[in-house]
Structure 1
Amino acid sequence: MNEPTAVTDPRIGSVLQERYRIIERLAAGGMGMVYRGERLEVGKPVAIKFLHAWAAGDEEFRRRFQVEARATSRLTHPCCVSVIDFGVDQDSPFMVMDFVTGETLRSLLRDGPLLPARALGTARQVLAGLAHAHAQGIIHRDIKPENIIVTHAEGLGEQVRILDFGLAKLRDEVTGLTSGMMLGTPSYMAPEQIHGEPVGPPTDLYATGVLLYELLTGKKPFNATSNAELLRMQREVTPPRLRDAAPDAGFSAELEATLAKAMEKAPGERFQSATEFLAALEGAGAGPAVLPVTPVTGDGPAMPRSSSPTPSRPREEVLATRNVRAQPRATPVDLQAEARPPEPQDESEATIRSGP
């Protein structure tokens, strides 16, 4: 079934379940379409995500969408985008989320690595959000630059929001995935994720270590010419040292050791909690948060929005999806296929079949 174009989309202008007016279509992602909407009773802008028609008819994708809605609705931390409402309309599952404007880390990385203080402050906020998610029993499984947005709140500076819990796993959930399949983004997948083994907080912390490495150096730890080789390196190869990737940056030995521990191959050798990772960053000389970090426990305040864009860069609207660019649906990936080149790119979710 063909999806309607933004021009012919019958949802635009309609009212969803007497509560939300759909104003415009903003994005088509891997699993669904995202619209800008308005909550009628209060006039609040919202983001509304529908499953694609093909995905709504697929039991696995429909289940994953429901898991994302259930998982994200538990989140009350200002570093996480949360679900306001979800349901089914005319056999189309939907979720209503915070409307967030800002830039993804992938967009920021196109200009090269972040300054160390900014990179460390960003990572600390990501870890604060993950600590909250993990406390709710939620494992994200797809931490990467495309899924982190930086917003600008007046008087508070940069604020980080974790997007797209589309691969999230509840600890008590039976995955239901086909045997031999892995879900994630190869450059950020922990070895246990690649092997299809149980995942937990250390899985997200591995990806956060890869993320911080990239923020500090402008480079991913591993680059390869095929997905198979990239996944082999994730399983077997020790990441290059920070000082080798960015020899002029002067990174401390303590920071090197902290990142090395975050990216250990065995999950039991990594940090076991986001708060432990945070403490190690402080011990490595990162100091107190450069960017504001809200305490992990308790309901966080609503995140202020800023209308002013980042200096010299146009603002991009990013909602609770991977990003605003159209991306292909998740399909089996040929492990011998050419991997994406090493320059910063939007790296979409991959469903990787490890068998023939």
Structure 2
Amino acid sequence: MSEDLTGRRLGHYRIDGVLGKGGMSVMYRATDVRLGRKVALKVIAEHLTEDPEFRERFVDEARNTSAIDHANVVPLYDFGEVDGLLYIAMRLVDGSDLASLIKGGPLAPARALTLLGQVAEALDNLHERGLVHLDVKPANVLVTSRESAGEHVYVADFGLTRRGATGHRTRGGDFLGSPTYAAPEHLRGEPVDGRTDAYSLACVLFACLAGRPPFQGQVPEVIQGHLNREPPRLTEFVALPPAVDDVIRRGMAKNSKARYADCRELIAAARQALLAPARMPAAAPAAPANRAPGVAPPGPAGNGHGGFGPVGHNPGPLPNSGTPPRPMAAPAGLHSSSADPVRLRPPVPIGSSTAFTADKSGNRWVAPVLVGLVAIGLIVAAILLFTSSGGGSTNEQQDPSVPNVQVGPTETGAQPTTSGGRLPTSLPIRPQSSR
């Protein structure tokens, strides 16, 4: 263990307290007394001060960090050595790290993607410069909400960052990094590249959405998980779209060539799986014109409860929703008030004298039916009256201008009727009036 330097001066930096400790260094909160600026001061662990390899790695970290000018990489302010102690001064991020946020439980998918999208931008920028971070984990993702309207992310700790495919183990062959989020090729000491960091980012994505890393247990068990086991299904721990399991499976493929090409592509695939709008089912087909009486017309797609069904059918609250069902909308053509929705009655059996009605609005059909019946009666009466009066009478005075047509024997041969009268021998033909 290194001696706590709190309260001491290291060059022009006053050390105010410990922020965290790692295997190679201790991170302090400090003040640059020349500028009056708060900084994060990373000091190499004292037991490694005399180790040439670790001193070299510490210097490499300073050089690599200073070479990366990106909004999502912690800015480096200063680097030096005082009394045999190497230090790196960098921006003090006023916030928390992702590991602390996950301790409170899984993050909302939208928030996780927003944060990790920034991590992906920083890592891909690193890879474009020929560097590999090799220590991507929640503790090295710093989150602050004090520098912008939203949450801003900084990727930190470039102590293992290497240029090229080798150099990620000690000269003695020891593994450097965090096995919980390490790619198989990193664990085996094989060549690494940007897809190695992409594997670790897929593990971090799993941890953000599940609230735990993909493999847990003792270090040997975790390593065997990364080397030989398929990642667990994320949907076994949280209710998420099943497509996200495919994203994790590809992101954590054992063969680096089967993974996403870069970190941006990984996050884009996760965003598509988690946030893409669900496809709406096809609209219900139109009801046939000969729909049986009493059958309600099909309701609109989506009846307010996430499903499809006839209008007036209330399936009740959704499972685990905790909210009572909302009233269903009345079908088109039926009047209803917002306070008392209309529900249709069941179909009327054939032969029944009960008319098809709606609970609230059926009475409005009675008046039109009665008016129709009265109108039909008046029309029939008018026809009968016209018929009885339009046949003409044999006793009315003959119009000399109207010709007569012979219809029977002459007057002398007229036959008697059953009532005792005589049948007329001719009928007058009246021309149609021009008016």
Give the TM-score, by structure 2 length.
0.59
* Distance in 2, Cα, partners of 1:127 & 1:235: 24
Change (3 A) 1:6 1:198: same
In the alignment, structure 2 segments of 5+ residues that lack a partner are 277-435
The corresponding residue for 1:227 is 219
> Greater RCO between the two (CA within 8 Å, min separation 6)?
1
Change (3 A) 1:237 1:175: closer
Match of 2:259 among 252, 258, 270: 270
- Matched ranges for 1:155-170 at <5 A: 155-170=148-163
Equivalent residue, structure 2, for 1:24? 16
Count of matched residue pairs: 275
Greater shift, 72-81 or 270-279, is seen at 270-279
Tell me the percent identity.
34
Match of 2:378 in 1: none
* Alpha-carbon distance change, 60 to 15 in structure 1, aligned in 2, over 3 angstroms: closer
Distance 1:237 1:54, change over 3 A: same
Offset from partner CA, 1:4-30 (integer Å, 9 cap, x none): 4456x5xx2x362xxx33241324512
Which deviates the most, 149-158 or 229-238? 149-158
Corresponding residue of 1:304: none
Show the counterpart of 1:312: none
1:49-64 to 2 correspondence within 5 Å? 49-64=42-57
Q: 1:38 to 1:120 in 2, by over 3 A?
A: same
Whether contact under 8 Å (1:124, 1:278) holds in the other structure is: yes
Partner residue in 2 for 1:182: 175
The offset of 1:85, in angstroms, is: 1.8
Label 1:113 to 1:59 Cα distance change in 2 as closer, same or farther (>3 A): same
Q: Deviations over 1:235-281 (max 9, x none)?
A: 111111111222xx23241x222221111011111112223223323
Provide the C-alpha distance between the structure 2 equivalents of 1:232 and 1:202, rounded to a whole number of angstroms.
20
Contact 2:143 2:152 in 1 (8 A): yes
Name the CA distance, whole Å, in 1 between partners of 2:101 and 2:232: 23
- Contact kept? 1:74, 1:82, Cα under 8 Å: no
- Which residue number in structure 2 is paired with residue 250 of structure 1? 240
Correspondence for 1:68 among 55, 61, 65: 61
Farther off after superposition, 78-87 or 172-181: 172-181
Letter in 2 for 1:251: P
Output aligned runs, 1:318-333, within 5 Å: none
Contact in 1 for aligned 2:72/2:153 (Cα 8 Å): yes
Instruction: Give distance in 1, aligned partners of 2:219 and 2:185.
Output: 16
Query: Residues 120 and 286 of structure 1 are in contact (CA less than 8 Å); yes or no, is this contact kept in structure 2?
Result: no
Distance 2:31 2:230 in 1: 48
Cα gap change, 1:173/1:40 in structure 2, threshold over 3 Å: closer, same or farther? farther
Task: State the shift of 1:72 in Å.
Answer: 1.0
Amino acid at match of 2:36: G
Alignment root-mean-square deviation, CA: 2.3
CA distance in 2, matches of 1:151, 1:236: 37
Q: How far off is 1:175 after superposition?
A: 5.0
Partner SS for 2:88: strand
Partners of 1:154 and 1:49 in 2: CA distance? 22
Aligned ranges for residues 107-256 of structure 1 at < 5 Å? 107-153=100-146, 155-171=148-164, 174=167, 177-224=170-217, 226-246=218-238, 249-253=239-243, 255-256=244-245
**Which structure has the highest strand share of the two?**
1
Cα separation, 2, equivalents of 1:42 and 1:91: 24
Range that drifts further, 31-40 or 202-211: 31-40
Unaligned runs of 5+ in 1: 288-356
Contact 1:74 1:136 survives alignment (8 Å): no
Structure 1 runs of 4+ with >4 Å offset: 172-176
For residues 31-61 of structure 1, give each alpha carbon's deviation from its aligned partner in whole angstroms, at most 9, with x where no partner exists. 2233333445543322222212211111222
Report the alpha carbon displacement of residue 3 of structure 1 after superposing the two structures with TM: 4.4
In structure 1, how many angstroms separate the alpha carbons of the residues matched to 2:192 and 2:214?
A: 21
TM-score (norm 1): 0.71
